[in-house]
């Protein structure tokens, strides 16, 4: 008998933690943060205590109560054991709602993912050090007085730090050790195994299948457990239309191949799946059907109308093909695209792991903004001192705000909500009449609404015209036009076609607020409980 336990991600979007247990072993599918549950108790300045993190999260029922966590976090906890050891945890992609808690898992549980996903996860760790999602681990031990004995601490002395070794099973040509990891000996941190050489992956015939989503490296997982064939989709989006394909091919062969990866995945598995564990983010209500190609046209039109004015683009740089879209627009409108150092590090990381993403065609359009920070850490410090990612030379990349001031109409500046303070580098005349393009998802939570209203306050103060977001009629909640953002999730029509083609015997919806949408269409094939036995 196989037990499929949706530990989180049941009747909610995000927070996927799915445990599949059989006689051959157990597999964890993603291990993310459920922001809906998290937001009930925590926000930016109220968080779990670092030395008691696992215990705090278990007490609030934000983590599944099993003996699956790092020994240094649970040294005196009495947690129930699983029936079978976990062979590996599969990370479908680097969004926090899918991997935000992976740093808390037992160090002897291997992590399986695409090389791009693992590389980006490590790069993000180097830039934003959040222990709950880190792959590079440092052991914690009970503190000494005046620290309470039950509070776990890391050594402050570099020479006494104990790194916790983790096994990474990657799919791709390049090892993670190709990255400029900020420690001397990578063998102290990771044991790297290609998926083809992994005993755990081979035991279940695991195949990592790339899919099209809003972050590079996204993958589905196909595997067999106790003779049952599984497909876990992770998050994915529709394949492009023929009109879209022509535009994407103009941007590069790799861009078109990425967009067609969902189609290729379906062709590989159709008729070969017994159990489909599938996302259903967009099945509830109406959603925009805007595509990346339509988005490109809208952005190009808007920027062409803003000649001589500074353009601010808001989207996450880990959404690499959206960056490619803006790069093409920058090239066609005679502008340079300016990114922050942390974002350039992500771009360079992907180029190391997969040469398809070097963007050499547009390299002369890319600049790195010299922020007004008083200190630099980790990779940012190495980069700004010319020790890593120094091709092209740093002096050709770095741009000071005074240079942008001279000719603001020659630049597109990538700034998100949390980087808005960089606008204070510019004179009001430079910002006056500029445009801000909101190429990001809409707000859903109360905190996000507050953030969006605060964003609009900044834009109004500097007389920057917002595109894609505006004050709502009652002035309390912003409204979104959706003209500059394409969803990273598959449409209801695309999902229906996927399921019909794959034709599984059993369908288990996750990452969805409306799983009944599935049972209305596929009746007895659909399992709606959070725990399914087959």
Residue 30 to residue 36: CA distance in whole angstroms:
17
CB-CB contact of 9 with 34 (8 Å) = yes
At residue 316, the pLDDT reads 85
Residue 279 to residue 260: CA distance in whole angstroms:
18
**Which of 353, 301, 295, 287 minimizes the C-alpha distance to 324?**
295
At residue 186, the pLDDT reads 79
Prediction pTM value: 0.94
Residue 463 to residue 424: CA distance in whole angstroms:
13
Say how many CA atoms lie within 13 Å of 221 toward its Cβ. 30
Residue 507 to residue 231: CA distance in whole angstroms:
10
**Structure tokens that stand for 58 in this block:** 């278990």
CB-CB contact of 130 with 122 (8 Å) = no
Q: Which helix (H) or strand (E) holds 406?
A: helix 401-406
Say how many CA atoms lie within 13 Å of 428 toward its Cβ. 5
**Structure tokens that stand for 352 in this block:** 């190391």
List for the chain the helix, strand, coil content (%; round to 5): 40, 20, 40
Phi-psi region of 36 (alpha: psi -120 to 50; beta: other; left: phi over 0): alpha
**Which of 63, 192, 167, 163 minimizes the C-alpha distance to 109?**
167
At residue 286, the pLDDT reads 57
At residue 533, the pLDDT reads 95
* Helical ranges in 385-491 per DSSP H: 394-397, 401-406, 428-431, 446-461
Residue 4 to residue 20: CA distance in whole angstroms:
5
Q: What are phi and psi of 3, to 5 degrees?
A: -110, 120
Residue 215 to residue 236: CA distance in whole angstroms:
10
Given a cut of 50, the residues of the chain with pLDDT beneath it are none
Residue 346 to residue 397: CA distance in whole angstroms:
15
The owner of tokens 């009747």 is 11
**Structure tokens that stand for 393 in this block:** 């030379």
3-state secondary structure of 248: helix
**Which of 67, 120, 44 minimizes the C-alpha distance to 316?**
120
At residue 356, the pLDDT reads 76
Strand ranges across the sheet with 275-279: 207-210, 219-225, 228-232, 275-279, 506-510
Residue 98 to residue 90: CA distance in whole angstroms:
10
**Structure tokens that stand for 305 in this block:** 């109308």
Rg of the chain over Cα atoms, rounded to whole angstroms, equals 23
Residue 140 to residue 163: CA distance in whole angstroms:
10
3-state secondary structure of 208: strand
**In degrees, to the nearest 5, what angle opens at C-alpha 418 toward C-alphas 426 and 63?**
175
Task: To the nearest 10°, report the CA torsion of 277, 57, 107, 4.
Answer: -20
């Amino acid at each position: 008998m196989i037990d499929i336990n949706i530990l989180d991600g049941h009747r909610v979007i995000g927070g996927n933690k799915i445990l599949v247990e059989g006689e051959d072993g157990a597999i964890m599918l993603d291990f993310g943060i459920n922001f809906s549950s998290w937001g009930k108790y925590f926000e930016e300045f109220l968080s779990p205590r670092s030395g008691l993190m696992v215990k705090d999260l278990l007490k609030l029922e934000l983590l599944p109560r099993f003996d699956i966590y790092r020994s240094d976090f649970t040294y005196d906890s009495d947690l129930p054991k699983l029936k079978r050891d976990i062979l590996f945890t599969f990370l479908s992609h680097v969004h926090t709602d899918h991997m935000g808690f992976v740093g808390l898992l037992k160090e002897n549980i291997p992590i399986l993912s695409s090389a791009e996903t693992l590389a980006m996860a490590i790069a993000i760790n180097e830039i934003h050090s959040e222990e709950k999602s880190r792959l590079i681990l440092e052991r914690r031990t009970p503190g000494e007085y005046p620290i309470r004995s039950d509070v776990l601490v890391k050594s402050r002395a570099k020479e006494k730090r104990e790194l916790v070794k983790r096994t990474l099973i990657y799919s791709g040509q390049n090892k993670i050790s190709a990255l400029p990891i900020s420690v001397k000996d990578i063998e102290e941190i990771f044991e790297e195994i290609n998926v083809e050489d992994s005993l755990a992956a081979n035991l279940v015939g695991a195949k990592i299948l790339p899919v099209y989503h809003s972050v590079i490296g996204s993958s589905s997982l196909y595997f067999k457990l106790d003779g049952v064939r599984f497909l876990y989709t992770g998050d994915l989006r529709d394949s492009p239309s023929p009109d879209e394909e022509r535009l994407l091919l103009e941007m590069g062969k790799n861009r078109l191949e990425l967009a067609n990866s969902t189609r290729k995945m379906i062709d590989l598995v159709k008729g070969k799946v017994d159990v489909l564990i599938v996302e259903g983010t967009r099945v509830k209500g109406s959603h925009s059907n805007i595509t990346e190609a339509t988005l490109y046209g809208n952005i190009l039109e808007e920027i062409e109308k803003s000649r001589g004015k500074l353009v601010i683009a808001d989207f996450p740089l880990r959404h690499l093909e959206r960056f490619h879209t803006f790069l093409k627009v920058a090239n066609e409108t005679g502008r340079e695209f300016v990114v922050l150092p942390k974002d350039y590090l992500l771009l360079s990381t992907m180029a190391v792991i997969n040469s398809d993403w070097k963007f050499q065609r547009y390299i002369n359009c890319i600049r790195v903004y010299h922020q007004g920070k008083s200190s630099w850490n980790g990779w940012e410090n190495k980069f700004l001192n010319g020790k890593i990612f120094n091709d092209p030379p740093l002096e050709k990349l770095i741009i000071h705000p005074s240079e942008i001031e001279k000719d603001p109409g020659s630049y597109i500046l990538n700034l998100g909500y949390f980087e808005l303070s960089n606008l204070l580098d510019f004179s009001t005349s430079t910002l006056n009449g500029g445009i801000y393009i909101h190429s990001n998802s809409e707000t859903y939570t109360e905190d996000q609404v507050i953030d969006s209203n605060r964003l609009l306050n900044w834009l109004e103060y500097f007389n920057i015209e917002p595109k894609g977001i505006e004050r709502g009629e009652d002035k309390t909640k912003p409204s979104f036009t959706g003209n500059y953002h394409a969803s990273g999730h598959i449409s209801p029509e695309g999902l229906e076609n996927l399921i019909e083609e794959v034709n599984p015997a059993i369908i288990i919806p996750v990452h969805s607020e409306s799983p009944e949408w599935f049972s209305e269409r596929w009746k007895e094939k659909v399992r709606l409980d959070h725990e399914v036995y087959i």
